[in-house]
Structures are given as C-alpha cells and as structure tokens.
Amino acid sequence: MIEKWKEWCNEKLSYEGKARKIGLLVSGGADSAMALYVLSKHILDCDKDKIFSKSIIVPMHGWDQRRINVYSPDSAKDVIKVVKKLIPEAPIKNLQICGYYKEKGEEKAKYHNPFAYMLVKENIIDVYYSGSTKQPEGHVMKKLKMEDLKRTEDLQRKKGPMGSYTKRELALLYKDYGLMEDLFPVTVSCIGDAPQPCKNCWWCLEKYDAFGMYDGGVK
Ligand SMILES: [Zn+2]
C-alpha cells in the first residue's frame, strides 16, 4: 500500500514506447513535494534500459496574484532546491511559472490548463499532472468539520503519483523516507496569505491532522 505511487509511475512515465516530458504542478505544499521526490527517485532508480529512465520532470507553478503577502513561487523553489539536494541527479528541469488572478469560486484548472497547453505547444512538456493527494476519508472530514472540496473530473484525470493517498498516508511516507527533517519543513500549505499558518483554513486543518503540526513545524 505504502508504495502505490510506483504503479502510477509504471503506467504514466512512458507512452507508446517513448520517454516523456512530465509536467508536474508543484505548489510548494507537502503533497507535490513528495510527488516530485518519488518521481525523481523512480526515474533514477529504474533500469537504464527502460524507456522511462529517459523521462524528465518539468515543475510547473501557478501563482494566484490575489495573494498579496505571499509569493508562492518561492515555496515551490524551496521544495525543488531540497529535492535536488537529496537527489542530486534528479531529472528536474527549470520551474515554469504562470501568474493569474483567480476570482473566488473559480477552479485553478481554468488557469492551469491553458498554461499547460502553451507548454505543450512549446514542446516543453508532453503531459501534465497534479501533485495533490486525495481528500481525507469521510469520518476525518466530519471530525475536522471540513467541507467537501468537490474535486472535479478534470482533477481526477490529472491525478498524479500522490492521487491515491490521503494526507495521513502521505505523512507515513514522509516518515518512512526520512523526509521530516529536510523536505517537510519547507513545505507550505496554508492559503491564509500571511507569513504564519492561519491554523484555520482547510489546508491547515488537513496538514495538522496528518502531521500533528502546521507549516514550518508550528504546533
Ligand atoms: Zn491556513
């Protein structure tokens, strides 16, 4: 169960006998940080004669300019820096950033899809995936009084290597891979647009439930 991301990799990392340029949305949060880590690890660990050993990862980040205090690309850059330090040969290419102004209630996909389409046209990526985990189980949501995110079909289609994990399972992976000291502390989940975690938003609640701490290890 714990390494179910491997199935995803075996299925998606090559296509019709060709290696792929994989676009991966890296938000700076704990989910996509792990996605970037396991993808890098898998590409490097696989047999060199396997076609996907030639695959590359193109991290992508969308900055919602509605956020005025937090420049979220910095979190994505920190995550990439740490993953590259942990896996020096990681096949991670330059971070692609797109700025947009998301109205309340709009899906990020509205902005991420054209961004990705442009990268496909420019031959920078072949395909792109989300770095997110799935929503917590019903009983956890209930306990934390969390609202259903009503994740769309589009997001289902873009399910990345962490797409079959809950945040609690993700926390187990962080511990198993020994990533609590270096990678976890640089991840940022809160959308409160302040330097400190708000301890109140959906993402703070979910992170605290799984890891027992907020962004930056705040208890
Ligand atoms: Zn928050």
2 CA from centroid of ligand 1 (Å): 27
166 CA from centroid of ligand 1 (Å): 18
CATH of 5-210, one of 1.10.10, 3.40.50, 1.20.140, 3.30.1450: 3.40.50
153 CA from centroid of ligand 1 (Å): 26
Domain regions of the chain by residue span: 5-210
- In the block, tokens 């109205």 appear at 103
Residues of the chain by 3-state class (helix, strand, coil), percent to 5: 40, 10, 45
189 CA from centroid of ligand 1 (Å): 7
191 CA from centroid of ligand 1 (Å): 5
Whole-number average pLDDT of the chain: 92
CA 15 to chain CA centroid, Å, is: 22
Of 98-102, 156-160, 174-178, which range is least confident? 156-160
CA 63 to chain CA centroid, Å, is: 14
Nearest to 126 by CA among 55, 73, 61, 63: 55
202 CA from centroid of ligand 1 (Å): 7
pLDDT in tens, 182-191: 999 999 999 9
Judged by DSSP in three states, 18 sits in strand
Q: Which pTM value belongs to this model?
A: 0.95
Residue 167 pLDDT > 90: yes
Give the whole-angstrom CA distance, residue 186 versus residue 27: 12
Q: Please provide the distance, in angstroms rounded to a whole number, between the alpha carbons at the two ends of the chain.
A: 29
Of 24-33, 48-57, 100-109, 206-215, which range is least confident? 48-57
63 CA from centroid of ligand 1 (Å): 17
190 CA from centroid of ligand 1 (Å): 4
1 CA from centroid of ligand 1 (Å): 29
Give the pLDDT confidence score for residue 169 in this predicted structure: 96
The amino acid at 21: K
Give the pLDDT confidence score for residue 125 in this predicted structure: 97
Q: Is the dihedral of CA 110, 116, 120, 121 positive or negative?
A: positive
The amino acid at 57: I
Give the whole-angstrom CA distance, residue 157 versus residue 151: 11
Give the pLDDT confidence score for residue 10 in this predicted structure: 84
What pairs with residue 60 in β-bridges?
Answer: 25, 96
Of 16-20, 24-28, 194-198, which range is least confident? 16-20
pLDDT in tens, 115-155: 999 999 999 999 999 999 998 989 999 998 888 877 766 77
Give the pLDDT confidence score for residue 17 in this predicted structure: 81
pLDDT in tens, 42-84: 999 887 777 788 899 999 999 999 999 999 999 999 999 999 9
Residue 1 pLDDT > 60: no
82 CA from centroid of ligand 1 (Å): 23
- Residue spans of beta strands (DSSP E) within the chain: 14-15, 18-19, 21-25, 56-64, 96-100, 127-129
